[in-house]
């Protein structure tokens, strides 16, 4: 059985980690890892973000503190980074295929790949691209946004990473991937390694899909959403619809998943806006297909009525 070991120093496991995409998710995760130990963290990015990092370092703001870090390497050329032990994909869904092709030269059979994208399709797509590598399931709870190229701001204190191989037992997951988990934990990142990752990803997707959809339809932040009966009613209805789809697919969910989802969303800072909402506001490319369209398509296959999702999708599709 493969045990990931890049090198040891004073009893600490070091891995050559590559963060692909330095936006909200990649920026906070990569920033915290680099703050703890910049010697094993690389940023794969481009454009103004890369220029800013190379000239001034990467700035991230978290827990009322501002940090500036310099990763081991920041580049848009994978050969400058070298062989990757762990690759974290933190790009938008519409950029996944392009990013995977660009980073491919440094991904080998032993490389562990963890997608932390919004949505549920990234793991399968990466498994099709990297058939010989170890592609795990993963998700992340975080609210963060890009302030400017090379500068990322975290909203609130919610930061949690979950990952694992659903085809392995808990024991085998620990044997193979505890080094990655421990690396994250040592950087102050709440991290859970689990074989139940498919169900965990669905729990996250239920929240982010319904929340991104309703905030984009009404263009309201979380605080405004919960203060307005019409938008809140739609949110509750969307949660019910997506839970019905998940259950039809055989996903095991807590009995109180709908209440739990509402509570998680209400815990965000009131000013929080979802990334899809921000993309719609700015006229950027967005993840409508991955977050809203996916639910409509899966429901259609299963013969489940998701009238609210369809209404939201059709409205947003016009302006996407």
CATH classification at residue 225 = 1.10.1040.10
Examine residue 257 and state whether it is found in any structural domain, yes or no: yes
Are 114 and 79 found together in one domain?
yes
Looking at residue 157, its pLDDT comes to 87
The total of structural domains in the chain comes to: 2
- Other CB atoms within 10 Å distance of the CB of residue 8: 9
CATH number of the structural domain spanning residue 53: 3.40.50.720
Looking at residue 226, its pLDDT comes to 97
What is the sign, positive or negative, of the torsion defined by CA atoms of 242, 243, 249, 251? positive
Examine residue 103 and state whether it is found in any structural domain, yes or no: yes
Strands (E), 46-136: 58-62, 65-69, 73-75, 86-89, 112-115, 134-135
Q: What are phi and psi of 115, to 5 degrees?
A: -85, 130
Examine residue 4 and state whether it is found in any structural domain, yes or no: no
Are 181 and 216 found together in one domain?
no
Long-range contacts formed by 182-188: CB under 8 A, 24+ apart:
182/13, 183/13, 183/15, 183/17, 183/33, 183/40, 184/33, 186/12, 186/36, 187/32, 187/33, 187/35, 187/36, 187/37, 188/32, 188/36
Looking at residue 14, its pLDDT comes to 63
The three-class DSSP label of residue 38 is helix
CA distance 138 to 98: 20
Are 152 and 206 found together in one domain?
no
Q: What are phi and psi of 95, to 5 degrees?
A: -105, 0
Examine residue 251 and state whether it is found in any structural domain, yes or no: yes
Task: Tell me which of 167, 195, 223 is where a domain ends.
Answer: 195
Examine residue 130 and state whether it is found in any structural domain, yes or no: yes
CA distance 213 to 295: 11
Looking at residue 155, its pLDDT comes to 86
CA distance 221 to 235: 13
- pLDDT (tens digit per residue) in 267-281: 888 999 999 999 999
C-alpha atoms less than 13 angstroms from C-alpha of 45 in its C-beta half-sphere: 28
Find the domain containing 273 and state its range.
Answer: 199-319
* DSSP at 18: E
Strands 58-62 and 151-164: parallel
pLDDT < 50: residue spans in the chain: 1-12
* DSSP at 76: S
Are 163 and 218 found together in one domain?
no
The three-class DSSP label of residue 251 is coil
CA distance 297 to 17: 35
Are 42 and 180 found together in one domain?
yes
**Angle at which helices 197-218 and 229-248 cross, to 10°:** 150
Examine residue 3 and state whether it is found in any structural domain, yes or no: no
Looking at residue 2, its pLDDT comes to 40
């Amino acid at each position: 059985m493969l045990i990931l070991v890049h090198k040891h120093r004073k009893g600490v496991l070091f891995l050559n980690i590559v963060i692909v995409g330095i936006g909200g998710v990649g920026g906070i995760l990569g920033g915290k890892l680099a703050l703890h130990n910049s010697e094993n963290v690389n940023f794969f990015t481009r454009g103004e973000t890369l220029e800013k990092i190379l000239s001034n370092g990467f700035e991230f703001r978290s827990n009322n503190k501002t940090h500036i870090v310099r990763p081991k390497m920041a580049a848009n050329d994978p050969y400058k980074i070298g062989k990757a032990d762990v690759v974290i994909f933190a790009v938008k869904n519409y950029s996944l295929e392009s990013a995977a092709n660009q980073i491919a030269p440094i991904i080998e059979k032993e490389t562990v790949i963890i997608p932390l994208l919004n949505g549920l399709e990234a793991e399968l797509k990466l498994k099709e691209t990297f058939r010989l590598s170890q592609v795990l399931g993963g998700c992340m709870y975080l609210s963060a946004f890009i302030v400017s190229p090379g500068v990322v701001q975290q909203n609130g204190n919610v930061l949690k990473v979950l990952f694992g191989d659903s085809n392995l037992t808990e024991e085998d997951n620990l044997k193979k991937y505890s080094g990655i988990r421990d690396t994250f934990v040592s950087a102050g990142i709440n991290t859970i390694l689990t074989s139940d990752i498919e169900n965990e990803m669905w729990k996250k997707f239920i929240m982010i899909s319904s929340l991104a959809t309703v905030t984009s339809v009404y263009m309201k932040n979380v605080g405004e959403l919960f203060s307005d009966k019409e938008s809140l009613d739609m949110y509750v209805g969307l949660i019910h619809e997506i839970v019905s789809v998940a259950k039809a697919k055989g996903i095991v969910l807590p009995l109180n998943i709908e209440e739990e989802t509402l509570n998680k969303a209400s815990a965000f800072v009131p000013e929080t806006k979802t990334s899809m909402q921000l993309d719609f506001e700015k006229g950027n490319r967005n993840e409508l297909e991955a977050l809203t369209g996916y639910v409509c398509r899966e429901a259609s296959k299963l013969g489940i009525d998701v009238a609210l999702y369809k209404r939201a999708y059709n409205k947003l599709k016009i302006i996407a």
